[in-house]
Amino acid sequence: MTTPRPLSPHLQIYKPQLTSVMSILHRATGIFLSLGTLVLVYWLMAAADGPEAYQQAISLLASWFGLLLLFGWSISLFYHLCNGIRHLFWDAGLGLDINTVYTTGKFVWLATFILTALAWLLAFTIKGAG
């Protein structure tokens, strides 16, 4: 192989931009969400074990630490979802010019915060009413 291949940027001398930060965050949230699947599995197994185990799982998840983690996973999920859709458009060859990339990037941030806020607001409102 004599073809010169592109090299990764050297992070020590690389100026962060919206594009690079969002790209790194896509991976970071992906890894964090992979860890979160363990909680989903734990919750499912507790539900399969019966009411006592399920209640215990719910108490853990509803503790301040559990809620903090759930909040982290929810914002990561919405980010990864919105930015993932942005990536799918790129894979289809759409929205690749630099202005569109920045516009959709900002839109992903906005959508992430709105969806996260809306999800928690609705969850607490509905739980409060029920």
Q: Which residues bind another protein (CB under 8 A)?
A: 27, 30-31, 33-34, 37-38, 40-41, 44-45, 47-48, 50-51, 54-55, 77, 81, 84-85, 87-88, 91, 119, 122-123, 126-127, 130
- Per 3-state DSSP, the chain is made up of helix, strand and coil in percentages (nearest 5) of 80, 0, 20
We find the least distance from the C-beta atom of residue 35 to another protein, in angstroms, to be 9
Q: Residue 99 or residue 120: which is nearer to another protein going by CB?
A: 120
Q: Residue 18 or residue 121: which is nearer to another protein going by CB?
A: 121
Q: Residue 17 or residue 49: which is nearer to another protein going by CB?
A: 49
What is the crossing angle of helices 18-49 and 64-91, to 10°? 130
We find the least distance from the C-beta atom of residue 124 to another protein, in angstroms, to be 8
User: For residues 122 and 118, what is the distance between their CA atoms, to the nearest angstrom?
Assistant: 6
112, 79 Cβ separation under 8 angstroms: yes
Distances from the Cα of 128 to the Cα of 114, 115, 120, 121, angstroms:
21, 20, 12, 10
User: For residues 39 and 53, what is the distance between their CA atoms, to the nearest angstrom?
Assistant: 14
Q: Residue 92 or residue 98: which is nearer to another protein going by CB?
A: 92
We find the least distance from the C-beta atom of residue 95 to another protein, in angstroms, to be 16
